[in-house]
A and B are shown apart, each in its own frame.
Chain A
Amino acid sequence: MSKLKKSRGIEELKSRYGFMFVLPWIIGLVMFFLYPLIQSIVYSFSDVAVSPGGVDIKFVGLKHYIEILKVDQNYTTELTTSLTSIVYSLPIILILSLVLAMMLNQKFRGRIFFRALYFLPVIIATGQVMKLVFETTDDSLTEMGVSGGMASGMITVEDLTGMLNMSTEVAKFITTTINDIFNLIWSCGIQIVLYLSGLQSIPATLYEASRVEGATKWEEFWFITFPMLSRITLLVGVFTMVELFINERTPLVERVYGSMLTGQYDKPSAMIWLYFIIVSAIMGVIIFLFNRFVMKRYEA
């Protein structure tokens, strides 16, 4: 009896220690996360005036939301642009980074070099630098007779449809992807890193066993690699969503960012919250479907 009590005592002690480890985080959480989060919701429903003495908040209900949806000419277009860009970039980034990670995971000469090269986007993963590069290399420069523009050699929709007799929809998708390829590959940095780490944690014995059984590479991928990566795919997916969400190159984020810099807090809050709610709804649906059809299937 006494032994039992003692062991529970140790458990309790450990629990207290664990709490001590995360206590600073809880303080920070309240101070710099939860409280500002609630404030930001409040801001979106209020008129906010910033003065040296503090912030004056006057509750105005849904005014800002109605304003951005009805009065603001650009908001809905910007919103749909951002959302479509997220929805179409996400699968491409995921597949691209998985393929690249699997290649970089194999043993071959120059692997270290290629890895170092492919991690470069992680290092320079800044919206600003890439934005400036793109602006300088925009085809307006080419039009001015300046050679070496980055987009100058790219394929156009007409080229493709003419060449392959494709429907315009498909062709459009492909050309956008190709014209966007810099963008997409440069968004794959962290994703490749995360996938590589995930690939390394798959036990090698699984592959050995499947080889003995005579599985092809294709089967190996679908029955070992893919299921073992399903959890990290979820993480990479969420991370990518957030990255795309705050991408400084989308016009919506740019505008919100601009008005924040001028000290306007209320309307941008409404803008970003509406955007966030839609994105998280999409994310929720994706996570749900993923859980339902991928995770469950393999866990059973």
Chain B
Amino acid sequence: MNNPFKNIKEADKLKAIKYANVGGSVLYSLFRYALLLSIGFIIIYPLLYMIVTSITSPLAFLNSTRVWIPTDFLIKDNYAKALQALDYWDSLKNTFFYPIASALLEVCSCAIIGYGFARFNFKGKKILSGILFLTILIPEMMLVMPRMANYGNLDFLGIFGGIEKLVEWVASLFGSDITATFDLTPNIVNTGWTMWLPSFFGIGLRSGVLIYIYIQFFTGLPRELEEAAWVDGAGPLKTFLKIAVPSSSVVFITVLVFSIVWHWNDSLLTSIYFTETEPLAPALVGAKEYLGAAWGLYGGKGAPQQAAVMMAICLLFITPVLIFYMFIQRGFVESIDRVGITG
């Protein structure tokens, strides 16, 4: 059976197969790069477009030989207008103060709730899980109107209002009128509480999705360490803070990015809740009105100069999140692999 030719043949065959595979995989990887690059271009295009348009002077818009590189620059003017239209620094401060603070609150409160769902069995868990799905399903837009109406007199099922009336009635028996000073149902319209409170209770902007991600992650986390802590006599809160949280950086990064980005971009809630101290997102919506008549001149599509300012406005709006993403990008990209959302 020691036929040397046979061995050579086998080796050649293997080689041939190997080369065929290499050829195929080179072709495939070329195809992959081509596809990824072309779709990547679609993703980057609006950004490039924004940058280029925002530094173009109105004159250059009428030059039809211009494609990407503007023939006339007008950076300072465009951006000065954009800063003014957004009332940028004030709006930026408001954004951090209201939506971003609310996002951070949400990240913390949803972690606690998700942990409770993932680790413990309690009565009514099934029903609550169903309601959790409902909170994912029903968008904020359907709730914002009644919420806004309630925020004028913040109450919990009319209980505090009842107590308030009762106390006032008792006081009136003693002959003093405290209606003006005694208020258990505060008006929180136009204050940060409109966002902070729901986030604190884990029912803020898209909290359902965040809780869901937390549940999936904590369910996949090995129980052993926590059980050891239990045996050693640590309470549930201590176990959560000292054992579960430190090993959950992956899920925290994911959720943090989602929450901050959603809050940053949300213009619906913020423009209804904050009419006086506007964060950036509603200011962005309002910018169109600021640019005024010229924007509406050409069938609502905007004149060239307005387009330039508008793109400068958009760029200013996304810059802070882009910087945030640059810093956290590495961790976020890696954490996606390990967060374990399995549906």
Q: Which residues of A contact B (CB under 8 A)?
A: 11, 14-22, 24-37, 39-40, 43, 50, 52, 54-55, 100, 103-104, 106, 108, 112, 114-130, 132-133, 135-138, 140-141, 144-148, 150, 181-182, 185-186, 190, 193-194, 196-198, 200-201, 229-236, 238-239, 242, 245-246, 248, 253, 256-257, 260-261, 265, 268-269, 272-273, 276, 280, 283
Contact = CB atoms under 8 A, between A and B. Distances in A.
B343 A25 contact: no
Contact of A182 (B32, B42, B338): B42
Given A108-B29, A117-B40, A238-B136, A141 B301 contact: yes
B135 A248 contact: no
A200 B67 CA distance: 42
Main secondary structure of the interface of B (DSSP, over half): helix
B299 interface: yes
Contacts of B181: none
A14 B343 CA distance: 26
Contacts of B45: 150, 182
A19 B149 contact: no
A67 B301 CA distance: 31
A37 B147 CA distance: 9
Given A232-B343, A276-B138, A147 B67 contact: yes
Main secondary structure of the interface of A (DSSP, over half): helix
Which of A11, A18, A116, A127 lies at the interface centre, i.e. has the most chain B CB atoms within 10 A of its CB?
A18
Interface of B: 29, 32-33, 35-36, 39-40, 42-47, 49-50, 52-53, 61-68, 109, 112-113, 115-117, 119-123, 125, 128, 131, 135-139, 141-147, 149-150, 152-153, 156-157, 197-198, 200-203, 209, 211-212, 220, 236, 240, 254, 257-258, 261, 264-265, 267-268, 271-272, 281, 284-285, 288, 298-302, 304, 307, 310-311, 313-314, 317-318, 321-322, 325, 329-330, 332-333, 336-343
B149 A198 contact: no
B340 A201 contact: yes
Contact of B139 (A29, A235, A245): A245
A40 B145 contact: yes
A145 B146 contact: no
Contact of B64 (A18, A22, A124, A147): A147
Contact of B310 (A31, A136, A242): A136
Nearest to A245: B139
Given A37-B138, A196-B337, A181 B42 contact: yes
7 contacts: A15-B122, A20-B116, A37-B138, A124-B322, A136-B53, A141-B302, A276-B142
Contacts of A245: 139
Contacts of A126: 264-265, 267, 281, 318
A34 B36 CA distance: 44
A117 B33 CA distance: 13
A117 B145 contact: no
Contacts of A115: 333, 336
Which of A54, A123, A242, A257 lies at the interface centre, i.e. has the most chain B CB atoms within 10 A of its CB?
A123
Given A36-B150, A124-B321, A128-B265, A28 B202 contact: yes
Contacts of B200: 24, 28
Contact of A129 (B32, B64, B236, B314): B314
A265 B43 contact: no
